[in-house]
Amino acid sequence: MFQANQASFSMATLNGKNILLGITGGIAAYKSAELCRLLRKQNAVVRVVMTRGACEFISPLTFQALSGNPVHTQLLDSDAEAGMGHIELAKWPDLIIVAPATANFIAKYSQGLADDLLLTLLIASTAPVAIAPAMNQAMWSNPLTQRNIRELQTALLEQVTFLGPAEGEQACGDIGAGRMLEASELCDAVEEVLAVLLDADAGPLSGQRVVITAGPTREAIDPVRYISNHSSGKMGYALAAACAEQGADVVLVSGPVQIERPKQVKVAMVESATEMMSSVDQEIALGCDIFISAAAVADYSPVMVADQKMKKKGEDDVVLNLTQNVDIVATVAARPSKPYVVGFAAETNDVLNYAKGKLVKKNLDMIVANDVSRSDIGFNSDHNAVHIITANEIIEVPKQSKKELARSIVKSIVLNSKTRKSTTKLDKKG
Ligand code: PMT
């Protein structure tokens, strides 16, 4: 999930922005009063929508005073409709933040219910939505809540971002994940989400250097034969184009492929896993914020490479001794000052479990799992279907063109890589 990286965005991001603050019924509603104040302090225009439950915890009058605007509480309110009707209100915000967001609210939103004003606005709005969960740790970790979050993220991947929750002591005395982020963290995160989602001109990856591997490697047996696989490079090349679209400075380290080079991307062509490793090393030494390993690197290569074409010697069987190649993505991820590292998992069965295993074993920040047993996706197809997996979440991205899919993967990388930076910052402080 996403936390604020205070240093990276200017204070001007919120200036004049319309922020709709949705409040649902949780004890953390008191923190939203401070959030409202902080947003106003940064010159955002704030309108508040409260559910019936929220009004049990804190008075709408408090938010009226803090936001400087009437507070909206009911769907069927003729006075409110005469002022700003609910459809008009749904079109008004540059960003909607729901803080606190209860388990009940998340469940309803994930199912597309619209039985109160806040849910109706959310269903009617195309604005980016930030959700700050706040609930008891057992409710947060309940598989039903986690399923609802996954469904919401899968259905509204482009629109919805989760902010937190944090871990710690809760109002009920429990300790664990479920606390709402502090108001100042939420305010920073809102700025960050706005900057990422709305600052399309500069691109959220502007100023970042991304190194991507793509295609197969070829492991020579002799001057005319090699071991390789069916990778076409399409997935890695689409990712390179998607990162460049978002303003990144992109370097593609590519195995042998027959596809067009993406525009505005530096390409380094290599043959073997060893060459790919040394090219990746050189590029990372020049600076790398994000490393994406989409290449189908051969796991093994012949121990001996014959100088001349190997001749048949009359035997029916030939034994080829193989040795394990360097694991490029694991090597990069093992470095002390590693970039944000994204691997792929090419699996034919038990896809999610194997992928989760590789995420941990290779010390990756994210892994993109694809089923390479299918001929309509994966190797050499123009399409793919994946699960994007991090330590906190699994997002299913259904079958679509590799170009479109690459854009979704890059959006997830943008949001999650910022989370990791802020977490590292907090770790250092602590
Ligand atoms: O190129 P396309 O035809 O478009 O096909 C796309 C793809 C199927 C190749 C791509 O989506 C994909 O899954 N790439 C990863 C293929 C792979 O090698 O997966 P793996 O599960 O064996 O490896 C796991 C991770 O380790 C991968 O990020 C891989 O790049 C990396 N690896 C593996 C071995 C090695 N020696 N070094 C590595 O860096």
* Per-residue pLDDT tens digits for 374-397: 999 999 999 999 999 999 889 999
Question: Of 168, 197, 226, at which residue does a domain stop?
Answer: 197
Rounded to two decimals, what is the model's pTM?
0.64
Res 8: pLDDT: 41
CB-defined site of ligand 1, < 6 Å: 215, 231-235, 273, 293-297, 299, 325, 327-329, 343-346, 358, 370, 372, 378-380
Best residue among 211, 219, 231 to mutate for probing ligand 1's pocket (most ligand atoms within 8 Å of CB) is 231
Q: Give me the CATH number covering residue 275.
A: 3.40.50.10300
Please tell me the distance between residue 399's alpha carbon and the centre of ligand 1 in angstroms. 18
Best residue among 276, 329, 342, 363 to mutate for probing ligand 1's pocket (most ligand atoms within 8 Å of CB) is 329
| Whether residues 188 and 269 fall in one domain | no
Asked whether residue 1 is domain-assigned, the answer is: no
Please tell me the distance between residue 68's alpha carbon and the centre of ligand 1 in angstroms. 54
| Whether residues 218 and 355 fall in one domain | yes
| Nearest Cα residue to 106 out of 55, 148, 144, 158 | 148
Based on the residue annotation, tell me whether 187 is a catalytic residue of this protein: no
Question: Of 140, 166, 197, at which residue does a domain stop?
Answer: 197
| Whether residues 273 and 153 fall in one domain | no
Domain with 281 in it: 203-308+318-421
| Whether residues 233 and 178 fall in one domain | no
Please tell me the distance between residue 258's alpha carbon and the centre of ligand 1 in angstroms. 18
| Whether residues 156 and 265 fall in one domain | no
Q: What is the gyration radius of the CA atoms in the chain, in angstroms?
A: 25
Asked whether residue 338 is domain-assigned, the answer is: yes
Question: Of 175, 197, 219, at which residue does a domain stop?
Answer: 197
Res 428: pLDDT: 39
| Whether residues 260 and 158 fall in one domain | no
Choice among 36, 55, 172, 243 that is catalytic: 172
Please tell me the distance between residue 345's alpha carbon and the centre of ligand 1 in angstroms. 6
Ranges of residues in the chain whose predicted pLDDT is under 70: 1-12, 80-83, 197-202, 419-430
Best residue among 293, 338, 384 to mutate for probing ligand 1's pocket (most ligand atoms within 8 Å of CB) is 293
Please tell me the distance between residue 296's alpha carbon and the centre of ligand 1 in angstroms. 4
- Indicate the number of domains in the chain: 2
Residue with tokens 């949705």: 22
Alpha-carbon distance 396 to 260, whole Å? Answer: 28
Res 87: pLDDT: 87
| Whether residues 181 and 211 fall in one domain | no
| Whether residues 63 and 162 fall in one domain | yes
